[in-house]
Structure 1
């Protein structure tokens, strides 16, 4: 065979190899994208009403009592912090701090600081929003059991009733140094029993009980109030209920990007959370000296809801990301092989995160979609006074 013909055959072979390689890359990319992308069917609208647990059916008196208790610092060891100190209506019942300052704190928002001298640490994790926690654990088609609803970043509590008492017994949140963990609830109940207005409120909320002022009923009242804090009519909810005009074309494109990049692998269902623990290598807060390894010592934390993110910055369990753009850039880094927490190894990282396909060019579109999940019509009513006569919300002035 002449040299020219041999060269032509060789060149043709190389071209075929290149084209075959490109085709294989396209096929691999298509398969990868097909694997990552989810259908809109994995998402859903929130129900238009809330389910109560059978042993804590709501009534107006119980909700009224729960609201007072939520805002009353009499529930804290030093009478200086209330549930509402770290869960403020103007911040979607969360707050604008990386991690909270509970006991021995003063001021609000970015001006909140510890009183001196101080031996109380920062709260361990970012303050999660209480809004829509009535729906925690919900699956598509509205299936959930309020008695089993997972609570906290590590899901260590089930139900709003169980969750309600734990901050009261936690040193840095509401208890302080004045009382032992096993004694503080008895102290709080003893205080409440001395307040005539609370005696009346408990009797009205739990009519038929001879001695209604006790810790279990206190938890029930707070939980009943928290189940009224819902934001279930966002434009996304309207869209999922059949109003195709509720989202703009660019917001629908953002929704498609959200599904395509793999976000919905974990952020699914009506709350856009699978309510599972995942190890992502999120950086630790600098507010605490010790690293936060989570409940199973594997740096795994619960998938947060994506609802009303406009009001709940900063984000993640450590509060390290101030904007949604920062969060999505973090996921882009993960998919590129970066691990931002030095205590987390590559083998610990959740493959659902490392296999995501977040690109910088898609971030603004995804953020545009996430903003359709905001609903500002939730109840923001703050009582002008509380039965104890203490400052509403505690020392936040």
Structure 2
């Protein structure tokens, strides 16, 4: 925090004063045991600028050769069971490496963006959840003043994987995302490795990227290459980052007021740190997507989902795990509803909702100011390049 300007520190003090006034009428709650976290007033010190460099796991240091290989694999549908969908099909550069759909259409899909649909005939369901952005996942799990371990970074809405290396292979094994009906979950990765081994250019690229290994084309190296590429997809120079690094003019007066509102209303209790996420599971009672018949009960069947990052939201809508909210205003109104005791998912009962959400103080008058601040977290300077072709000869980004 040494580089923060006097104006930023003054803003921090004003936030503390405003937050103290807000919570001063809640002395009884403050006295109750177990309420310390709910009642603590967040300040700008609970947020943070992203690092300007990326950390690699000890067993997968980045090299240009790994990144180049991973980039081709990311856009190549040869990784899917039917050879019709690539990682980039649902993580598109123009949409911040996410997708402008409520929940994704993976296997047996045709088209791009909002025009994507299932081919006919079809027996594949929609993907279970909204496609999260790959951008900045190199920083998943990062927190202020704590050592960062990229190998243990929480991934997915339910945090079922740790690290980008483990995350990279899960969509390939998932029926509706990339696997399809033609292969068993336990056999698809062997099939993919066999396919890659039969392509001379991939054999060469794996040998160059992993020169010390006798059998460089492997599941492990497939994951390592994709992860190495994904760690290059970062956007670390938002106006908020510039402000936190000492440029007091990077934010307007209205945006600073929005940041104060963001802190005072309690948003930063969960959306904290450089990634604006505590990387914890919370139950909010978000409505289910209508793309699936079954209700999504989340992690441990408690309707709990990981706090998403708030970075680059301009490019990653629709929002929440079910993709049910098209705008940021709708997301913020959800918290106003929760604090007012309104439940939007009939499968979630009142006692299940996280107290950090029920005790928030988001009012309609705050929403526009908070959205104005959230727009300072956008950085459009990330790599959006797409390979002209892939070694398999299949259509880049799938069908």
Choose the corresponding residue for 1:337, options 330, 341, 348. Answer: 341
CA–CA distance in 2 between the matches of 1:35 and 1:197?
58
1:167 alignment counterpart: 171
TM alignment of 1:55-134, pairs within 5 A: 55-134=59-138
CA–CA distance in 2 between the matches of 1:31 and 1:259?
22
Shift of 1:208: 1.5
1:36/1:356 contact within 8 Å kept: no
Q: CA offsets, 1:42-89, max 9 Å, x none?
A: 000000000000100010010000000000000000000000000000
- What TM-score comes out, normalization by structure 1 length? 0.91
Q: CA offsets, 1:329-382, max 9 Å, x none?
A: 111111111010000000000000000000000100000000000000111110
Shift of 1:272: 0.3
Choose the corresponding residue for 1:217, options 218, 221, 228. Answer: 221
1:28 alignment counterpart: 25
1:17 alignment counterpart: none
CA–CA distance in 2 between the matches of 1:117 and 1:26?
58
CA–CA distance in 1 between the matches of 2:112 and 2:329?
26
1:42/1:269 contact within 8 Å kept: yes
Choose the corresponding residue for 2:230, options 203, 206, 226. Answer: 226
Q: CA offsets, 1:274-327, max 9 Å, x none?
A: 000000000000000000001200000000000000000000000000000000
TM alignment of 1:1-397, pairs within 5 A: 28=25, 35=39, 37-141=41-145, 143-395=147-399
CA–CA distance in 1 between the matches of 2:28 and 2:272?
22
1:325/1:367 contact within 8 Å kept: yes
Shift of 1:26: 9.4
CA–CA distance in 2 between the matches of 1:27 and 1:256?
17
CA–CA distance in 2 between the matches of 1:31 and 1:389?
67
CA–CA distance in 2 between the matches of 1:141 and 1:376?
27
Q: Secondary structure at the match of 2:142?
A: coil
1:168/1:174 contact within 8 Å kept: yes
Distance 1:313 1:32, change over 3 A: farther
1:99/1:123 contact within 8 Å kept: yes
Q: Secondary structure at the match of 1:56?
A: coil
CA–CA distance in 1 between the matches of 2:51 and 2:43?
20
Q: Size of the alignment, in residue pairs?
A: 371
Return the index of the structure with the highest Cα Rg: 1
2:23/2:39 contact within 8 Å kept: no
Q: Secondary structure at the match of 1:55?
A: coil
Q: Secondary structure at the match of 2:152?
A: coil
Shift of 1:32: 7.4
Q: Secondary structure at the match of 1:141?
A: coil
CA–CA distance in 2 between the matches of 1:143 and 1:84?
31
RMSD value, Cα: 1.5
Shift of 1:30: 8.1
Q: Secondary structure at the match of 2:151?
A: coil
Distance 1:313 1:208, change over 3 A: same
